[in-house]
Structure 1
Amino acid sequence: MINRFAVRKTTKGYGVWDAAVNGWHSRQDLGQPEATELAATMNSGQSPQEAGATVSRKVNPARPVLVLVDGRWWPARLDWWVRESDGWYGRASLDATGATNWYPAASLRPGEASSA
């Protein structure tokens, strides 16, 4: 993932956002130069993918899947794939709670299409 870490402004200052996990990588009260340096350092440690290789793919429209959570398969909607150094991850929203998270491909399987 190119430029996985990005500087974002917050109400307290600046922070470094991690696009792979869709969450903060740092405190959000950093100064802009400090946050910029941290993001640049973190991005330089990421290995670039092969030229022309697909590293992410939007699923449009979102597809029904089953997600393995705590030993049980839960219905969800898959809307994005991303390839990291250790394999593919899918972003899915659980139907029961609406919670969205990234799951390894091994924890996902096709679900039945709903009539909705």
Structure 2
Amino acid sequence: MLGRFTVRPADDGSEGFGVWDGAVNGWRASGIPDELTAAEQAVELEIQYDAHGPRPADAVRVLPSPQPVRRATWSEGQIEAWVRDTGTGAWYAKFRDPTGLVSLILGNDVRPINDKKR
């Protein structure tokens, strides 16, 4: 289950954000000051957990250093890890765009950037 963790505005009247856990219908984190930080926390949780609990070790590959890539939408960024959806078997990349926003995108939608051809 990818998409278990979502970023939502705080519901306590504050200006911050939180990370909602859809598997348990409750907040996983709250009091996060900005949406970028909340999005990164949500993706990190997606990498660690699937719908049933901790993700199997063979379903996660953390890269030793970020790899520059280009998305199918022709936007550039970096991937920092891979995670396999245990339900479908599809691999997703932890993608950071130039603004710092982190998301999970389908692995088929990224291509390495060859610096020599840039």
Query: TM-score, normalised to structure 1's length?
Result: 0.51
Percentage of pairs with the same residue: 24
Does the 8 A contact of 1:80 with 1:90 survive in 2? Answer: yes
Count how many residue pairs are aligned between Structure 1 and Structure 2: 75
Q: Map 1:1-116 to 2 at 5 A.
A: 23-25=19-21, 26-28=25-27, 42-43=51-52, 54-68=58-72, 72-84=73-85, 85-86=87-88, 87-95=90-98, 97-113=99-115
Report the CA distance between 1:112 and its aligned residue.
3.0
CA-based RMSD of the aligned residues comes to 3.3
Question: How far, CA to CA, are the matches of 1:77 and 1:109 in structure 2?
Answer: 10
What is the CA-CA distance between 1:54 and the residue it aligns to?
Answer: 1.7
Unaligned runs of 5+ in 2: 6-11, 13-18, 29-50
TM-score (norm 2): 0.51
Gaps of 5+ in 1: 6-11, 13-22, 30-41
Q: Deviations over 1:33-79 (max 9, x none)?
A: xxxxxxxxx527x9x86xxx7210001111001123xxx21111110
As a proportion of its length, which structure holds more helix? 2
Larger radius of gyration: 1
